[in-house]
Chains A and B, each alone.
Chain A
């Protein structure tokens, strides 16, 4: 049985290393484009993750190796009896200080990234000046409110605000900020491809900024178990050129103030038939 345990404890570090090595090939790693984040901040966050992964991997593999060695020695050496000791002061100090130093290093090392992501003072100025939309999480959808073209987003709804649901368009080439709210329970604004995640809390308006490094359509999901329809709470964030974004807003304005007469852009579900019929 003794050797069996040696193998058992040997198996886990080997399995961990193998699965980590295989992860990119079998699609177990980070989402989006060969595990590369779709935002520069996301790439830095991934860097942090890899650093922590490497540190923990070394510690895990190291401690397992020592454990397997000790077991193996114990199994093969029937003559030497184990002795009971009351601890080793020096050893205690070593295995407290080393992890402490590692944690302190990580804490200091990640501060810049954390600040850029979360501390308002470090937000990109262009994003803070002009939040593009208010995002309201609601069981079980995402509702968006844009300011009218040429105007700034106000905390309270304005008569000419533009509204949509489950489809957030943002311009490419500059950092953008949204004001996040929740209508009912806790939700979480999660853009896996951009590595952006922020809880939405009822009664609070929380600014979130992000900048995609590629145009495209990204999933927006809820990362807080918010009720039975939680899994359905999916939307798209569409990152497009400034020109396309402006066209989108124009189109949205036309649709929103549509009075049932005349032509409007024909990409909205039922206005197509209405527009053509006049």
Chain B
């Protein structure tokens, strides 16, 4: 059979058609929806501040004061290759970076001696084999053999590369939870930018400990699409966690800044203010905003970052962790019975959500709930989490424990609640013994006949 011209065209088109499904993931840190809803004059300084303090995925930035292991490495210039007139880069042979991470391109380099002392250059090229780096030529720096420098963010970069390989396709480049595969997952991947993590070992108001996140990475989350990454080394897991927390701090800083501006300078509010009813002139608002940016914004920024940093630091203190006052009450039929009564009592109201039999079908799942963020009713019945997803209360008979199946894990779920969800903290209202009775009851449910 002759192979006609039209078929040839079809054949050639085929690879093209198959390529259309391959989308490139987002390769920049994205800004939140709320930031983009600000008027440009308000959004711009927020975005600039974030880029200044956190950089972008290709050029990370060290921002002092965050509880992050940035990973500074000291180096010394060995020789400087004579730059030709046209060349925009200076190439240097350096030593001291051999033990550092082998991909340093895009990282900031701070000169600690020589003419450029105190100046920061970006590493434009790095060759691990030959030990040469290239930085941009500027008037302020003139590296000479013997000059010393610090390469910053090597640890962060290591974490970023691992994150991009293992986590990004679900959790997204900036931890916003909208990676390319996220649309196929239920429950959806976590948006890290609120800095809230569900399964922690810490007190109700505290953030997650590093160890909690490391545990989640290693063990995965049963019953969700978060798989276990146990085959990564401890060092790799720690680097990923370090980076994820840094992404969280970036997102939280952004949120705090935007929250300050949103009620006065969102596009919607400004439209209202300049409408006939509002009676303000756009120039007045611009002037007011300019004044705010000059006088108050630097303080707001400093407060935002330092409060976020403090919160993360506090979570890793020893006293942030929930440690029961008494050992687990022996798992006897009597203890389970006490737990059952508590479960059904008005004191805990467990049955309202989890249902009288623990099937996850309590009356609360039939109500229309109010979104605490927007103060509007959700469009569908049932409970929702802080990320806006509908959240059925757990069916306690399934024996799937997302936050871990150790008694201490279940105890902590009850003591601190599940952060970001309507599951409340019972650490205050219930005594340790009562909590253990409840733990015993709940953990017996998967094996009960009801």
B323 interface residue (CB < 8 Å to A): yes
Taking CB atoms and an 8 Å cut-off, the chain A residues in 105-143 that contact chain B are 138-141, 143
Contact residues in A for B169 (Cβ distance below 8 Å): 228
Q: How large is the interface on A (under 10, 10 to 19, 20 to 34, 35 or more residues)?
A: 20 to 34
- The closest CB in chain A to the CB of B169 belongs to A228
Taking CB atoms and an 8 Å cut-off, the chain B residues in 426-450 that contact chain A are 443-444, 446-447
9 further contact pairs, Cβ within 8 A, besides A139-B225, A233-B227, A274-B201:
A139-B227, A141-B220, A159-B444, A165-B220, A235-B230, A259-B327, A259-B407, A260-B324, A260-B408
Main secondary structure of the interface of A (DSSP, over half): loop
Contact residues in B for A259 (Cβ distance below 8 Å): 324, 327-328, 406-408, 411
The 8 closest A-B pairs by CB, nearest first: A270-B211, A260-B408, A259-B328, A166-B230, A141-B227, A165-B228, A141-B228, A140-B227
Asked whether, in the complex, the Cβ of B408 is within 8 Å of the Cβ of A262, the reply is: no
Asked whether, in the complex, the Cβ of A270 is within 8 Å of the Cβ of B447, the reply is: no
- The closest CB in chain A to the CB of B318 belongs to A277
A263 interface residue (CB < 8 Å to B): no
Contact residues in A for B218 (Cβ distance below 8 Å): 269
Expressed in whole angstroms, the Cα–Cα distance for A100 and B406 within the complex equals 60
Expressed in whole angstroms, the Cα–Cα distance for A167 and B230 within the complex equals 8
Taking CB atoms and an 8 Å cut-off, the chain A residues in 248-277 that contact chain B are 255-262, 269-270, 273-274, 277
Q: Which of B227, B405, B443 is the most central at the interface, judged by chain A CB atoms within 10 Å of its CB?
A: B227
Contact residues in B for A277 (Cβ distance below 8 Å): 318, 321, 323
Expressed in whole angstroms, the Cα–Cα distance for A269 and B220 within the complex equals 13
Asked whether, in the complex, the Cβ of A166 is within 8 Å of the Cβ of B181, the reply is: no
B322 interface residue (CB < 8 Å to A): yes
Which of B234, B399, B407 meets A269, CB within 8 Å?
B234
Expressed in whole angstroms, the Cα–Cα distance for A159 and B214 within the complex equals 26
A197 interface residue (CB < 8 Å to B): no
Q: Using known A-B contacts A165-B220, A232-B227, determine if residue A258 contacts B443 with beta carbons closer than 8 Å.
A: no
A229 interface residue (CB < 8 Å to B): yes
Asked whether, in the complex, the Cβ of A236 is within 8 Å of the Cβ of B227, the reply is: no
A29 interface residue (CB < 8 Å to B): no
Asked whether, in the complex, the Cβ of A165 is within 8 Å of the Cβ of B219, the reply is: yes
Q: Which residues of A contact B (CB under 8 A)?
A: 138-141, 143, 157-159, 163, 165-167, 228-229, 232-236, 255-262, 269-270, 273-274, 277-278
Q: Which of A163, A232, A262, A270 is the most central at the interface, judged by chain B CB atoms within 10 Å of its CB?
A: A270
Taking CB atoms and an 8 Å cut-off, the chain B residues in 201-247 that contact chain A are 201, 209, 211-212, 214-215, 218-220, 222, 225, 227-228, 230-231, 234, 237
Contact residues in A for B446 (Cβ distance below 8 Å): 157, 159
Q: Using known A-B contacts A163-B405, A259-B327, determine if residue A270 contacts B234 with beta carbons closer than 8 Å.
A: no
Contact residues in B for A236 (Cβ distance below 8 Å): 231
Q: Which residues of B contact A (CB under 8 A)?
A: 166, 169, 181, 201, 209, 211-212, 214-215, 218-220, 222, 225, 227-228, 230-231, 234, 237, 318, 321-324, 327-328, 399, 405-408, 411-412, 443-444, 446-447
Mind listing 27 A-B residue pairs with CB under 8 Å? A139-B227, A141-B227, A157-B446, A159-B446, A159-B447, A163-B405, A165-B219, A166-B230, A167-B230, A228-B169, A234-B231, A236-B231, A256-B406, A257-B406, A259-B327, A259-B407, A259-B411, A260-B322, A260-B408, A261-B324, A269-B218, A269-B237, A270-B209, A270-B211, A270-B212, A277-B318, A277-B323
Q: Using known A-B contacts A256-B405, A269-B215, A273-B211, determine if residue A261 contacts B323 with beta carbons closer than 8 Å.
A: yes
Contact residues in B for A258 (Cβ distance below 8 Å): 406-408
Expressed in whole angstroms, the Cα–Cα distance for A236 and B220 within the complex equals 16
Expressed in whole angstroms, the Cα–Cα distance for A262 and B407 within the complex equals 13
Asked whether, in the complex, the Cβ of B399 is within 8 Å of the Cβ of A278, the reply is: no
Asked whether, in the complex, the Cβ of A269 is within 8 Å of the Cβ of B322, the reply is: no
Contact residues in A for B227 (Cβ distance below 8 Å): 138-141, 229, 232-233
- How distant is A198 from chain B, measured CB to nearest CB, in Å? 21
Which of B201, B214, B399 meets A157, CB within 8 Å?
B399
Asked whether, in the complex, the Cβ of A269 is within 8 Å of the Cβ of B323, the reply is: no
Q: Using known A-B contacts A157-B399, A159-B447, A270-B209, determine if residue A166 contacts B328 with beta carbons closer than 8 Å.
A: no
Contact residues in B for A273 (Cβ distance below 8 Å): 211
Contact residues in B for A260 (Cβ distance below 8 Å): 322-324, 407-408, 411-412
- How distant is B167 from chain A, measured CB to nearest CB, in Å? 11
Which of A166, A233, A255, A274 meets B321, CB within 8 Å?
A274
